[in-house]
Amino acid sequence: MIFKTLSLNNIRSYKNNESIAFPIGTSLFEGDIGSGKSTLLMAIEFALFGLGNQKGDSLLRKGSKKGSVTLEFGVGEDNYLVQRSLIRKENDGPVRQEKGILGINGAKLELSPSEIKEKILKILNFKEPLNPRAQSVIFRYAVYTPQEEMKYILSQKPDERLQTLRKAFGIEDYKIAAENANILSRSIKDKLIELKTETKDLDDKKQELFVLKGNLDANKTKNAKSQARGEELDILQKTQKETLEKLQESELELKKIQVEIPHLKKQIEEKEKLSIKYQDEIKTCGEENKLKFIPQIETLEKIEKPTNETEEDLNSKLTAIKKIIKEHDSLKSNLALLNDSKQSTENELGENKTKTSEELLKEKDALILKIKEKYDAFKLDKEQVQKISEDIYKLDVEKSETLKKLNNVDGLGELCPICGSVLNEEHKKNLKAESDEKIKKMNSRSKILSHVELKGKKQLESEEIEIKTLENNLNDLKLVIDKVLRLDDLKNKINSIYMKLNSFDNDLKSIIDSPVEFDETDRYITHFETLLDKLKEYNQSQKDLENAKYQFKKNFDKIKENNDNIDVLTAEINSLRQNLAAFQGKLEELKNIPNEIAEVKFNYQKTEEEFQAVKEKIVETKTIVEKLQEDISKVKDEINKKESLKKQLDKFNDYHIWLNDYLIPTLSLIEKHVMQKRYEEFNGDFQKWFSILIEDISKTAKIDEEFTPIVEQDGFEQDINYLSGGEKTSVALAYRLALNNIVQKVSTGMKSNLLILDEPTDGFSREQLYKVREILNELDCPQVIIVSHERELGSFADNVFKVEKIDGNSCVTLSG
């Protein structure tokens, strides 16, 4: 796992999305105590695994409603982003986690805090329980262990420390497996007792099955005899029933004959009457055809058709001719009106009637242009006259002011208001002379300007009259143009009417198939109307002819039909008479049938009573057989179940022996061997790191069987509590590095590519500080994060981040 970026928003002393990019190599986060270094490590652990056993209030910035941590990291070729948020609903209320975000190669999921932890453990392949209130043991020992917690491990009771290390080393799995095996063994033992109880009466059930099968065979034999007698009675009863049914059929036939003889006599009588009726109808229809319909048909067939056209064709022609005449008259009227309007317009135009609208429009455009040019010149002259008037007005004002000053010379005081010199009589005289001269010039100038103004006004009046004349000419020209356009429109309409009038001849030719003049239209209308009347009379005669033929054929068919009916009736009457004679003979044969039926019914009743008794006996025996079969099936099921349970009993007995005699002892032996191997590796790593940190050759260190660190000097054991601060830190760091190495080996989800050291040099001398460089080189870890207030460590790090607190807010900056 490699960290990439970390962002904090309202987390403890960090505010406003403080963001840090983690480079590869050794990075030192250096700052004073309380600057916010440890908060970075707490935020990383919170982002990965949630709050764990700490309270949200310890992370969320005081006074803030919401805070968040976002961590980006990589595992192998995949990139991940995890974001967790904290929220406080009330000012002093509890802090809880909200749903967070987990990003995997750009795709983001919104998950609950526990779901995020489950996913992170799976990504890192940490085989740990999913308890959201528990810290990750593997992360704490393999990647990051707070310094105070490391010292706590050293001072723990041996049994508590050993239990913690067993979990970190994964050895606890063997103990858990053994305990689970014991639980399973006890469960199997209980199951064995239960199975023995359930199978103890297996032999009794087999004996019960034997007795039931004997009873079943006896009842089946009894039932077979009853069924044989029942079959004999059934055959006898069927024979009797067949005889009875034949007799009843004969009886039914007798009754039918007794009813049928009067009916046959009546049918013969009715058919004879119907035959006479048909003969009368034949006579009537023959006389009607001869006297009425044949003469009528001969007369109507002689009438000739006046035309090959239909009534619809003639009506269409009449309608079309009348429509053309109506439109012709309307167009003639419109043509006269249009010609009058045309003549009137030409008279109004006079000599202009020969001019085209295009010529007149060109004249109009030229006149408009001329008016515009005249108006522009008039406007310019008017502006010049106004300017001259303004100049005259200014001269008059100036002359008035000069006269006013001239009249007030005596009251100006001792100094001249113009030049500032002493104002004596001579000076006053000079001022008056200058003013008189000035007034003369202004009068001369005003006279010239007034003359020019008068001349300009006359010129303006002349130009205004000319513009007015041109505008009147333009209006007259517009009227002429309107009339010419109207005259063009009238000519077009007249030409259109002439074209329509010319087309009427062609329309009439197509209707009546011959040339026509409008003076002859009434004759053609009369001709078509007469022809239409004759055609109607002909069509009506054809309908009458068709009806006469229909009635003639109807009578003819009736005669034929009645002759056929008479032949049929004659045959039916002969047949009925034959049937009547046969029925009378059969009636004599069947007169003893009722006595024979009574005798057969008596014998059938006796057979039925015996058969019912046999059937009841069969049902009774069958019920007993079914009950015995049901009991046998039930007992068989019980025997099968108990035999199956007996097999389970044998199988569970084998399991119980295997668990107690083989698996549980083997797990205990494996646990001891693995623990011994971990002890040897741990002790070797601890001694290596201790020897690097402590150069005093008189002092050595080792780990006892309870994983307690032992420090000796000159062969004598020293109490760790009496070591110096630097020596205690060296022991804790050596223990930490050794523990980190072992946990990384046993955890398949942790590769040795990330290590976090929290205040690893607390109490170190300057010489010991430089030993850290040797340790870092020995570790060969791609990404190491060190949190410390020791500035000397900066020389060992590839990147140095300075952590400062300014006005209560922490900030992180990368030193150059």
Kindly report, residue by residue over 433-468, the tens digit of the pLDDT: 888 888 888 888 888 988 988 998 899 899 889 889
Q: How far is CA 451 from CA 158, 380, 381, 400, 438, in A?
A: 133, 19, 15, 21, 20
In this predicted structure, which of 60-74, 185-199, 243-257, 739-753 has the lowest mean pLDDT? 739-753
pLDDT band at 519 (very low <50, low <70, confident <90, very high): low
Asked if residue 141 has pLDDT above 80, the reply is no
Quote the pLDDT of residue 516. Answer: 47
Q: Where are the beta strands (DSSP E) in 650-698?
A: none
Residue 644 host element (H or E): helix 593-658
Asked if residue 515 has pLDDT above 60, the reply is no
- What value does the mean pLDDT take over residues 216-229? 86
| pLDDT per residue as tens digits for the range 295-327 | 888 888 888 888 888 888 888 888 888 888 788
CA neighbor of 73 nearest in space, from 150, 143, 146, 145: 143
| pLDDT per residue as tens digits for the range 103-126 | 999 999 999 999 999 999 888 877
CA neighbor of 226 nearest in space, from 802, 585, 518, 615: 615
Composition of the chain by helix, strand, coil, percent to 5: 70, 10, 15
CA neighbor of 368 nearest in space, from 484, 460, 478, 483: 478
In 3-state terms, what secondary structure has residue 699? strand
Asked if residue 518 has pLDDT above 50, the reply is no
725-746 vs 766-779: helix crossing angle, rounded to 10 = 10
- What value does the mean pLDDT take over residues 606-615? 86
Strand-pairing partners, residue 754, are 783
Exposure string (b/e) for 424-455, b if CB count within 10 Å is 16 or more?
eeebeeebeeebeeeeeebeeebeebeeebee
Please tell me what DSSP assigns to residue 354.
Answer: G
- What value does the mean pLDDT take over residues 505-519? 63
CA neighbor of 452 nearest in space, from 504, 381, 346: 381
Mean pLDDT: which of 48-57, 79-88, 137-146, 262-271 is highest? 79-88
Asked if residue 748 has pLDDT above 60, the reply is no
95-97 and 78-88 as β-strands: parallel, antiparallel, unpaired?
antiparallel
CA–centroid distance for 180 within its chain: 51
The C-alpha atoms of residue 463 and residue 268 are separated, in whole angstroms, by 135
Judged by phi (left if over 0) then psi (alpha if -120 to 50, else beta), residue 703 lies in beta
Q: Are 210 and 636 in contact (CB under 8 A)?
A: no
Quote the pLDDT of residue 223. Answer: 85
Asked if residue 55 has pLDDT above 90, the reply is no
The CA angle 507-509-511, to the nearest 5 degrees, is: 70
| pLDDT per residue as tens digits for the range 1-50 | 899 999 999 999 998 889 999 999 999 999 988 899 999 999 999 999 99
Please name the residue that has the structure tokens 């070591």: 723
Q: Integer distance in angstroms from the first to the last C-alpha of the chain?
A: 27
How many CB atoms lie under 10 A from the CB of residue 494? 16
Retrieve residue 451's tokens: 């003359």
- What value does the mean pLDDT take over residues 776-792? 85
The overall average pLDDT reported for the chain is 85
Q: Are 731 and 690 in contact (CB under 8 A)?
A: yes
Q: Are 426 and 434 in contact (CB under 8 A)?
A: no
How many CB atoms lie under 10 A from the CB of residue 62? 10
